[in-house]
Every structure is written in C-alpha cells, then in structure tokens.
C-alpha cells in the first residue's frame, strides 16, 4: 500500500461507511486509486468455465453495484470483475444506516437489500464499457416486492446478457426476506432451469454461476450440489455473507445483516471444500469469504476453488490488495512446484473436510 493510499483509507474510515464507499468510487474514477493493469503470468493465467482470466483473483459483487467504475476496476489488478446485484426495477434497498465496519474484527456487516439503479441503467453502462482482457460479469437479483422472484433473475439476464461475460444467480443474500428459500432443491432447480433457458437464447453463450450461503447445513449443501449438477449450471460461488456472529468483538457485532470479512474465512472455506467433494470436481468453484492475503487465496484454491473473489478486505487493505494477492499467489504456486493454478485446485481439500 502506498502512503497516499494509506492516507486515503484513514480519511475514509473517519466517515460514515456508506458515504465513504461512494467517495471511494468517485476517487477511483478520478484516477486517485492504484490501477496497475491486469496482473498475469504463466502460472496465474487460468480458465474458469471457458473464461480466460489473467489471474484468478476477482472482485466480488457489491463494490460496484451500478457498474459506474468498470473501466477503472478492470485495470486495478483483478483477473475478473463482478458488478451488481441488478434487479429488474430500480430499488432503494433497506433504510440507512445499513453498512457497518467491525474494525476490531476486520469485518463488515451490511443489510443493503439489493439497492441498485435497475437493470436498464446498469446494462447501458455495461454496453458502453471498454472491452479488454478482464472478464466482467453481473450479479442477478430479484426485486423485494416481486410477485415472481424466480422470473426476475431470468428477466435481468435477458436484458443484460449480451453485454456481460458471465452472470451470477444470487439466491443467498440474507437481506431480502425469504430470498434464501430459493436455495431449496426444487425451487433452485426450477429457477436455474429458467435462467439457463434465457442464456441459451443469447447470441454468445456465457457461463452462469450460482452463489450460495455459508449457513447451509449438510442436507442443504447436498441439495445445492444436486440441483447445480442437474441444471447444467456452469459453476458455484461459495459463499455469500453469513448470519453467524460467533467470536466477534466489535460494538456493531449484533447489527442485523450479512457478515463478511475475516470471521467468515474458515466457515466459507469449509463449505467450499464440502461442495467440491459433493460435485466431484465436475463444476468449477469460486471461493469467497474472508480473503485478505495471498496465503488465504491459496488456501481457497487448495480447498477446491478454481478462482477467488474479495471485497471486504479492500475496506482495510485498499484497492492495491488485489494486485498484491495475485503476485503473492504466483510466488506460492512457484514455491510449491505448481505450473498453474489448475494444478493446485483441490490439492489441500483434505485439510477442510
């Protein structure tokens, strides 16, 4: 982290978290954040469900909800970018305050509730982006007051699909009431079938992933695996935020919403490893939750992930963390004799199951 970036983070942490996040996006677009370009190399370049990634370190959905900073983010060192979530109609989300820093725990709690400017506005920005080597995807969401939430996911994909490189079905946010009910086997199978039917009408076939919660029990994980394999989905993102509050020390610990950051690392990695076992290597997995270092990214890969994503760690480590993790991951792969990320996938899964 440069002295300027460190000073900027100190200033942002003196502000309301949501205001600070909006200012960080403006600063990024103004050229005040590090943008070293995609970090890559022969060990780091990898394939994810047909996507050619410069490196396997991605940006999770939520940082750039409305796709206003895609061009800059694509030069920030990430190997792929996910924006959104986008819902068919714009919605304000839940009342403020709805974002909390848990500094003592290196964590964040949010209860945004899919606040976004709507699929039409987001799609227009995605259509105008500069295409490059870093794939850009969209997280698909459902409106809070929708009469048919399953149909909402397909509707967003029908509109935005031609402008993105991949899409994610987000049925695991804890901040839209009863959304996680869609993770049940029958409901999820029907939802994914509908989304993939829309995907198959697009001129270019894009991979579609499903993002799952870390709070599922053993039976729930088995249902997810069976539904994913039966539907023909292209991969699973494990995991979203958690409702657990175990071991927290921050005065904000009991705020409602989804917890992300350092406390989620172990839980999400165990879920990732279990899903890897249940899917028998037949689906690529993306590991998310608590990654703040190259070592933690490497642990996710060795637990079964073909790629990883981060977000909350940027609150504490700055945007330069993405490039630092990618470079550190390259060094770890070289140290252990792996010629590629693919060779390392699942090599340490036994440590987590």
Pairing of strands 136-140, 166-170: parallel
**Residue appearing with tokens 């049925």:** 171
Buried b (16+ CB within 10 A) or exposed e, 71-100: bbbbbbbbbbbbbbbbbbebbebbeeebbb
DSSP state of 175: T
Residue 227's contacts (CB-CB under 8 Å, 6 or more residues apart) are 185, 188, 189, 192
CA angle 91, 69, 284 (to 5 degrees): 85
Query: What is residue 103's DSSP assignment?
Result: G
Distance of CA 202 to the CA centre of its chain: 23
Q: Judge whether 173 counts as a catalytic residue.
A: yes
CA distance linking residue 302 with residue 286, whole number of Å = 12
CA-to-CA dists, residue 153 to 48, 163, 169, 250, angstroms:
22, 16, 7, 35
CA distance 328 to 56: 12
Max intra-chain CA distance, the chain: 53
Catalytic residue selected from 24, 172, 173, 312: 173
- Active-site residues, by number, are 173
């Amino acid at each position: 982290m440069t002295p300027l970036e460190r000073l900027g983070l100190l200033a942002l942490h003196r502000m309301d978290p949501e205001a600070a996040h909006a200012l960080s996006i403006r600063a990024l677009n103004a050229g005040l954040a590090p943008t070293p370009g995609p970090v890559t190399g022969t060990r780091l370049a990898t394939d994810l469900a047909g996507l050619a990634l410069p490196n396997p370190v991605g940006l999770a959905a939520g940082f750039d909800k409305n796709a206003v900073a895609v061009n800059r983010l694509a030069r920030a060192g990430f190997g792929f970018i996910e924006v959104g979530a986008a819902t068919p109609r714009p919605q304000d989300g839940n009342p403020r305050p709805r974002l909390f820093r848990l500094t003592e725990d290196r964590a964040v709690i949010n209860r945004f509730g899919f606040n976004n400017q709507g699929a039409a506005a987001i799609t227009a920005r995605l259509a105008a982006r500069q295409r490059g080597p870093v794939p850009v995807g969209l997280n698909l969401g459902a409106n809070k007051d929708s009469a048919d939430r399953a149909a909402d996911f397909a509707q967003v994909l029908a509109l935005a699909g031609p402008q993105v490189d991949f899409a994610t079905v987000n049925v695991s946010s804890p901040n839209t009431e009863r959304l996680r009910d869609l993770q049940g086997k029958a409901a999820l199978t029907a939802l994914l079938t509908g989304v993939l039917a829309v995907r198959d009408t697009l001129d270019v076939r894009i991979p579609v992933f499903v993002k799952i919660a870390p709070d599922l029990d053993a039976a729930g994980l088995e249902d997810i695996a069976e539904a994913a394999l039966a539907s023909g989905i292209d991969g699973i993102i494990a995991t979203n935020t958690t409702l657990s509050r175990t071991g927290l020390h921050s005065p904000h610990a009991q705020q409602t919403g989804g917890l992300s950051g350092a406390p989620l690392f172990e839980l999400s990695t165990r879920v990732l490893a279990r899903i890897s076992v249940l899917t028998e290597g037949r689906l690529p997995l993306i590991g998310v939750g608590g990654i703040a270092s190259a070592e933690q990214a490497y642990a996710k890969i060795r637990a079964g992930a073909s790629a990883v994503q981060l977000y909350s760690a940027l609150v504490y480590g700055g945007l330069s963390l993405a490039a630092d993790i990618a470079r550190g991951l390259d060094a770890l792969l070289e140290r252990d004799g792996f010629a590629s990320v693919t060779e390392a996938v699942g090599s340490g899964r036994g440590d987590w199951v």
